[in-house]
Amino acid sequence: MATRAALPLLDATAHAARWIADYCAREHAGDVLCAQAHDPAWTAMFEELVAVAGDDLAHARERVQRHAEDIGTGFRVAGDSEERPWPVSPVPLLIGAPEWAGIAAGVRQRADLLETILADLYGEARLVARGLIPAALVAGSPYFLRPMAGLLPPGGFHLRFLAVDLGRGPTGEWRVLGDQLRAPAGAGYALENRLAVSRAMGGLQSRLNVERHAPFFAAFRDGLAAACRRVEPRIGLLTPGRYDPSYAEQAHLARYLGLLLVEGADLAVREDRLYVRTIGGLKRVDALWRRTDPRMLDPLAFDTHSRIGVPGLVDAMAAHEVVVANAPGVGVLESRAFGAFLPQLATRLLGEDLKLPNIATWWCGGPKEAAHVLDELDSLLIAPAFGSPPLGLPDGRPTLGAELTSEQRGALAADMARRPQDYVGQEIVRLSTMPAVDVQEGGGRALVARPFTLRVFAARDPDGGWRVLPGGFARIGEQADARASVMGEGNWSADVIVHGPSPVAPVSLLPPSDSIHVRRNPGTLPSRVADNFFWLGRYLERGEALLAAIRVMLGNSIEADAGAALAPATVGRLVGLVTGAGAGPHPASLKRADLVQLARTAMEAEDPQWSSVRAINALARGIGQGSRDRLSADMVRLLDAPVPSRGGLLDRAGSLQRRYAALSGLSAEHMGRTAAWRFHDLGRRVERAIAIARQVRAFGMAQASADDLSTLLELANSQISYRQRYLTGIARVPVVDLVALDPNNPRSLAFQIAAVCEHLRALPVLGDDGMDEPQQAQAAKLVAAISTATAGALDEEALDTVERRLFRLSELVAWRYFLHGADPLRATGLTLA
């Protein structure tokens, strides 16, 4: 830690200069830093890095990474996929404003060109008819969607958000490696990287005049809104769901952009209009930013096997009732083969050359090109022309021609003779490098040169023009090998900072305050989310109740010697409560060892046969993952935390119970009183009411012993209330009254049911006739039954009725507010002979 102590004495300027000098001394021809080693921007950036980390680069790397993890926590999915696909490097890529202007102009030009081509392909198809491109170039792409032909996208554009992957050559020229059009990923990571770097190096912003990200996203959102017919449109981000690898990014972007995060099942098309199913009925949706595979978008138009699509969505587009960004079918231009035609198309359609040259490509569908590729095999990359892997390449993957064995060359030539259209030859691109922190030769962390690619994002603004995100997302290769084809997806990411000579005005995504109506009950609650929150509440409460029963059972058996033991009949009833909940098998005896065994199963069994606390936890966690855009980071952390594994069984139970208490506290004190909270609390109340009814039936009936009654008070968390109220000792009628009927005891059945009734009154109803909906009527019946009951007369039958009514109530709530998961049956009408 000597270096840390010496930090104030460290001369940042000298230190940064030494890092740069050392780095560039190790031969780095074609490195971005070495080419601009005297640019004060790099020096300033490294000085900031010294200020963070001293001379310990490993420390800098950890710092930045920790910030990134912190920012992303609310969106990460626990478990295997917890890691970001591309951890962030502490050294950002710096690009000066003049150089950036060239890149941005090139990306805008390219976006315009792509839009022009798409408008033709899905419109008049003159490019093909005139022979500028062969029909096979279009039809060969699995992402060409013929059902979109003739459909002018509402709002007028096929493309609204795209990404272009660029490579920088050793001499500093940028060129396009590929286009991301279908569902470009990574903008969310660019946002996170920027946040992480600026949190770690606070001084960077003002020293470098860093161009900000927020105006770009604001322009994109406003552009979508401007394309809609309604003035205050409802815009959704359509996600494939929480099992999608980039779900976390989607949830982040939805929250950042203020979009409604929806899945296909949330949406419905009626009379060619798109709606989201909410607790208040169907609500119009005006635009979708889709992150689903376009072929899955509408099972009626594309793939009837799609289970995540919205039947009729394309009809709604055709009726100009919904804007979809990007329009389905844009992926046709992603194929490598198209790259061979873009330079000529730019000349023909725009009257100018591509400002950012394309990677040189030969499509073998043309006889001359095929001959050229076979002649130059050794100096080219041979790759699939379209999406599907051809038969003539090893594993169907892009391969360097020079690395093919003579046998493989034979196979390639043979298949190219049959299906030349499946292949392209591409120049082998050499990438320039940038500094990254990694293990250097001989050990220790140092700045090492690694190849990188740059993903640049562009979006349409309200005027339909293209805005380019200043910066973006750099991916850094793991190996020093600088050939683009070898680098693949890359292993690390880095923030990309565009810096300029003049200060940048602070902007945030917040619109001017007078342009927004004040709303106290935010947004629209999709039925799926309401369902999730209701069940999150039920599961958390169920876990808590089971844990309480386990603790009482365990506590009283383990402490037997201390004299706290319960009568065997009472222990038997506790066992019945635990096994009745399906949490474990009935024990062989009521001996301590058997009870401990039952407790262990009920708490921690992974066998799906038992609804153990662990299993209930997993259900709650799964629901939490699907609702991250609406849960606080603290709640997510508690839900994601693994089941405790340290200490004895009782310690583990205690620590879990404290976690449940914390979750309950967070939801009571931190969640806004929105409809989502109401559903969460409704779930809790219904579940707790069911638990109390069962407890009273087990421990509060006519023959109840003193042990039974004190156990009931303990399970119902009401010992203190009881002792304060009744000094005389324990008796059935006052105990049952306190636990079941007393409306002032917050742990009583009556209190839960009153709360349920209040929630159902506050939630939206469909009719305006003032009549109760069925779930409200059911709640009212329960309230009436409980308020007229007396403790002395409360028998098993009455409690059974209450429990049945609670189950019925839960069903009615689901029927009224949630999606009804009827399975789609596919109709297929062919028998074959």
Partner 1 sequence: MIYDIRHITRFDYGSAVRFARCNLRLKPIFWSGQRLEEYRLSISPSGRTAPARAEAGLANVVRLVIEEPVRHLVIESASRMVVDRLVPVPSPADPSLAQIAAAARASRDPSPAGPAAYLFPSPLIPLDRAIADWCAPDLDPDRPCLEAAIALARRIQREFEFDGSATFVDTPPHEAFAKRRGVCQDFAQIMITGLRAAGLPAAYASGYIRTLPPPGQPRLVGADATHAWVLLWCGEVLGWIGVDPTNGIWMASDHIVMAIGRDYAEIAPIDGIVLGAGAQKMDVSVDVAPLAGALA
Q: Which residues contact partner 1 (rule: CB under 8 A)? A: 121, 125, 128-131, 134-136, 138-140, 142, 145-151, 299-304, 311-312, 314-315, 318, 365, 367, 386, 388, 390-391, 417-421, 822-833
CA-based R_g, the chain, Å: 32
Shortest distance (Å) from residue 422 CB to partner 1: 8
Greatest Cα pair distance in the chain: 103
d(CA 821, CA 158): 33
CB count in 10 Å sphere of residue 171: 10
- Cβ at position 135, least distance to partner 1 in Å: 4
Give the shortest CB-321-to-partner 1 separation in angstroms: 14
Rounded least distance, CB 114 to partner 1, Å: 18
Quote the least distance from Cβ 151 to partner 1, whole Å. Answer: 7
CB 833 → partner 1: shortest distance, Å?
Answer: 4
Beta strands in 416-491 (DSSP E): 423-427, 433-439, 445-460, 466-468, 472-476
* Closer by beta carbon to partner 1, 335 or else 399: 335
106 vs 390, beta carbon nearer partner 1:
390
SS3 163: strand
CB closer to partner 1, 38 vs 826:
826
**Toward partner 1, which CB reaches closer, 420 or 471?**
420
Least distance to partner 1, CB of residue 324, Å: 15
Q: Which is nearer to partner 1, 783 or 819 (CB)?
A: 819
- Distance (Å, whole) CA 410 – CA 218: 54
- Distance of closest approach, residue 297 Cβ to partner 1, in angstroms: 13
Min separation Cβ 271 and partner 1, Å: 10
User: Could you tell me if 615 and 583 are in contact, meaning their C-beta atoms sit under 8 angstroms apart?
Assistant: no
Q: Which of 108/419 has CB closer to partner 1?
A: 419
Name beta bridge partners: 454.
166, 474
Q: Is 612 helix (H, G, I), strand (E, B) or coil?
A: coil
**Smallest separation, CB 549 to partner 1 (Å):** 35
**Gap between the terminal Cα atoms of the chain:** 81
Taking the least distance from each CB to partner 1, the nearer of 345 and 434 is 345
Between 519 and 826, name the residue whose CB sits nearer to partner 1.
Answer: 826
Q: Which is nearer to partner 1, 141 or 810 (CB)?
A: 141
User: Which pair of tokens denotes residue 266?
Assistant: 């949330």
DSSP lists the bridge partners of residue 381 as: 400, 426
Is the distance from CB of 820 to CB of 761 less than 8 angstroms? no
Spatial CA neighbour of 621 closest among 540, 529, 678, 531: 540
Q: How far is the CB of 359 from partner 1 (least distance, A)?
A: 23
DSSP code at position 741:
I
Chain centroid to CA 307: 19
Residue with tokens 């939630």: 763
The closest alpha carbon to 340, from 358, 324, 327, belongs to 358
In the complex with partner 1, the residue whose CB is nearer, 314 or 740, is 314
Smallest gap, in angstroms, from Cβ of residue 691 to partner 1?
30
The β-bridge relationship of strands 235-238 and 287-290 is parallel
Question: At 44, which amino acid appears?
Answer: A
- Please say which residue, 299 or 683, places its beta carbon nearer to partner 1: 299
CA distances from 190 to 87, 214, 474, 634 (A): 11, 11, 9, 24
Give the closest residue to 41 by CA, choosing from 504, 497, 494. 497
Task: Give the Cα separation of 331 and 386 in Å (integer).
Answer: 11
Look up tokens 């969505």; give the residue.
313
Sign of CA dihedral 619, 621, 627, 631: positive
Rank residues 55 and 272 by Cβ distance to partner 1 and give the closer one: 272
For 364, left (φ over 0), alpha (ψ -120 to 50), or beta? alpha
Q: Tell me the closest approach of the beta carbon of residue 775 to partner 1, in angstroms.
A: 20
- Name the helix (H) or strand (E) containing 466: strand 466-468
Q: How far apart are CA 107 and CA 777, in angstroms?
A: 60
Name the residue nearer to partner 1 (CB basis): 313 or 431: 313
User: Quick check: helix, strand or coil at residue 93?
Assistant: strand
Tell me how far, at minimum, the Cβ of 825 lies from partner 1, in Å. 5
CA dihedral sign, ordered 578, 584, 589, 590: negative
Q: 472 with 455: CB under 8 angstroms?
A: yes
Residue (48 or 334) nearer to partner 1, CB: 334
**C-beta of 100 vs 386, nearer to partner 1:** 386
Residue 787 in tokens: 């308020």
Question: Would you say 810 and 679 are in contact if contact means Cβ atoms under 8 Å apart?
Answer: no
Minimal distance, residue 327 CB to partner 1, in Å: 14
